[in-house]
Chain A
């Protein structure tokens, strides 16, 4: 099961909408072994593509060095699908290399109309573990943001 704060969930959805029709991608890091996604880190999609995403190699190194220095690991690895459902593709499965991570897939396929205008449709948000090519969907539990200044805000 993935447990994620409302604020982080909203940030992932906002990033996916902002980069549509290109795929958006990023990480939510957390303390090693904690399974708590705490630090939201949107990444640039170096592929700049509606059908592919890849972290830039230099930024990837910096990201892992930063996490290492903080004793963190990637708890969530997220990316968006902009024309298809929020389910890992064959490529996603083949390239998944973080067996401990929750792979979050967000689909923006239904929240824009054909001309790219916002149609206010729902954004699909689903989470999976991907280990040795085996995909297992998991429940997503959203917890209220604890920061008191953010209380009362809605998504």
Chain B
């Protein structure tokens, strides 16, 4: 099952410079584990341990077919063949 994953500039060090890679998985969580297998280190940039539970990092946005995954189940958001996943770091800051 192939899912296209768009990789932001800052994470392309993990994908050999590729802007887009393919992955597999029935949920976002499974897809991230699959990506980690081919691009070691990338998982830690996407998720973090929040009091014992793995969750998406606060300042990383992930979209499935243009929907922010935070509104469709987070890491448990379902995926199917042909879906497009986009990863974008938040553009944020503060004084």
Contact = CB atoms under 8 A, between A and B. Distances in A.
A55 interface: yes
B94 A60 contact: no
Interface string A77-106: 101011110001101100111111000000
A88 B93 CA distance: 9
A51 B91 CA distance: 15
Contacts of A53: 92-94
A60 B95 contact: no
Nearest to B91: A55
Nearest to B59: A95
Given A60-B61, A95-B59, A98-B9, A23 B89 contact: no
A86 B83 CA distance: 42
A8 interface: no
Dominant SS among interface residues on chain A: mixed
Contacts of B59: 95
Nearest to B92: A54
A79 B61 CA distance: 20
A2 interface: no
B95 A84 contact: yes
Contact of A60 (B9, B70, B90, B93): B90
Interface of A: 23, 25, 27, 43, 47, 49, 51-55, 57-58, 60-61, 64, 73, 77, 79, 81-84, 88-89, 91-92, 95-100
7 contacts: A25-B91, A27-B91, A57-B70, A64-B88, A82-B95, A95-B90, A97-B90
The 7 A-B residue pairs with the shortest CB-CB distance, nearest first, are A52-B94, A97-B89, A92-B93, A54-B92, A55-B91, A97-B10, A91-B94
